[in-house]
Amino acid sequence: MNSVSVRQTRREDIPALIALQKYIYPTIPAWSERKLHDQLEAFPQGQIVAENEEGLLGCASSITVVWDDWEEAHSWKEITSSGSFENHNPLGRTLYGVEVFVDPDSQGKGVGHLLYEARRNLCRSMNLKRVIACGRLPGYHRHADNMTAEFYAQKVVWGDFTDPVLSFQIREGFSYCGVMENYIPEDTESCGYASLIVWLNPDYRSDLPVNLLEKKIS
Ligand SMILES: CC(C)(COP(=O)(O)OP(=O)(O)OC[C@H]1O[C@@H](n2cnc3c(N)ncnc32)[C@H](O)[C@@H]1OP(=O)(O)O)[C@@H](O)C(=O)NCCC(=O)NCCS
């Protein structure tokens, strides 16, 4: 694959991102242009794309949250304010992964790894405590008649099953913390379930403030 680079999302990327998202998730409603503009307005530093000479290959989007506000239960819609990122809280010390996807033609070639690395770097450079995300479990529907989502996820963690998303996240250094119900109800592959995962920033300094970084939107 041609060399891949990662950078902050720009407004001009929006049509290509929507097209890619529709292609990747035929059953889940895609973001609107309005929502993507709102996301860039709310937290431009957290919106990242991967590209090569041929165009966009994928994206990773994040917000910061006060995790105590959300830890007991939440859906994707609730924590992201239906995708507008109004709940982005600059005082939060948790980077929350809202979305990550890679063009199917470019999957399995390290693009997802670069996007996750960029997310970890953002967490480090902002002096945030951790990255938390709720990952889809797209392999679960094949086993849903025989076992709970929790048991399925445990079998992925134990290495007995491979899930296209959770196996990747574990390989990226995330720890599995349990399953969430009705996280994205439209996600039929995951039967609405998601796995709660966390990566702790080893460089985090609780005695120092969050480094808010300069807000640049292009
Ligand atoms: C999950 C997802 C983002 C991963 O992106 P990706 O670009 O395929 O990720 P990578 O290529 O970095 O890693 C995927 C696998 O390819 C392997 N890989 C990476 N580089 C490779 C290379 N050069 N050659 C061969 N294999 C390679 C990795 O080891 C990894 O294996 P693992 O899954 O067993 O850990 C992608 O599959 C995706 O977009 N899925 C659909 C959308 C989705 O469900 N997103 C999750 C929302 S929660």
Give tens-digit pLDDT for 101-158: 999 999 999 999 999 999 999 999 999 999 999 999 999 999 999 999 999 999 999 9
For residue 162, which atom of ligand 1 is closest to its CA? 34
Whether residue 42 lies inside any domain: the answer is yes
Beta strands in the chain (DSSP E): 5-8, 47-52, 55-65, 94-102, 130-136, 175-180, 194-200
Look up the domain containing 17 and give its range.
5-200
Whether residue 133 lies inside any domain: the answer is yes
Whether residue 218 lies inside any domain: the answer is no
Give the tens place of pLDDT for each residue, 151-192. Answer: 999 999 999 999 999 999 999 999 999 999 999 999 999 999
Domains in the chain: how many in total?
Answer: 1
pLDDT at 213: 80
Residue 43's CATH number: 3.40.630.30
Q: How far is the CA of 107 from the centre of ligand 1 (A)?
A: 5
**CB-based contact 1:57 (threshold 8 Å):** no
Instruction: Place 216 in a pLDDT band, splitting at 50, 70 and 90.
Output: confident
Whether residue 207 lies inside any domain: the answer is no
Q: How far is the CA of 148 from the centre of ligand 1 (A)?
A: 25
The long-range contacts involving 86-91, CB below 8 angstroms and separated by at least 24 positions, are: 86/38, 86/42, 87/63, 88/42, 88/43, 88/46, 88/63, 88/64, 89/63, 89/64, 89/65, 90/64, 90/210, 90/212, 91/64, 91/66, 91/210
Whether residue 53 lies inside any domain: the answer is yes
- CA 46 to CA 99: how far, in whole Å? 11
The alpha carbon of residue 130 and the mean position of all alpha carbons in its chain are separated, in whole angstroms, by 13
Ligand 1 pocket at CB < 6 A: 24, 100-102, 107-113, 135-136, 138, 164-165, 167-168, 171
Q: How far is the CA of 165 from the centre of ligand 1 (A)?
A: 7
Q: HSE (CB half, 13 Å, CA atoms) of 40?
A: 20
- Mention every residue, 6+ apart, whose C-beta is less than 8 A from residue 61: 9, 39, 46, 47, 48, 97, 98, 99, 100
Whether residue 209 lies inside any domain: the answer is no
- CA 95 to CA 105: how far, in whole Å? 28
pLDDT at 162: 98
Instruction: Place 2 in a pLDDT band, splitting at 50, 70 and 90.
Output: confident
* Best probe residue, ligand 1, of 107, 136, 140, 171 (max atoms within 8 Å of C-beta): 107
According to DSSP, the residues that pair with 7 across neighbouring strands are: 49
pLDDT at 212: 86
Residue 217 has pLDDT above 80, yes or no: no
Whether residue 65 lies inside any domain: the answer is yes
Which residue type does 37 have?
H
Beta strand 130-136 pairing with 175-180 = unpaired
CA-nearest residue for atom 17, ligand 1, is: 108
Whether residue 214 lies inside any domain: the answer is no
Mean pLDDT of all residues in 185-207: 97
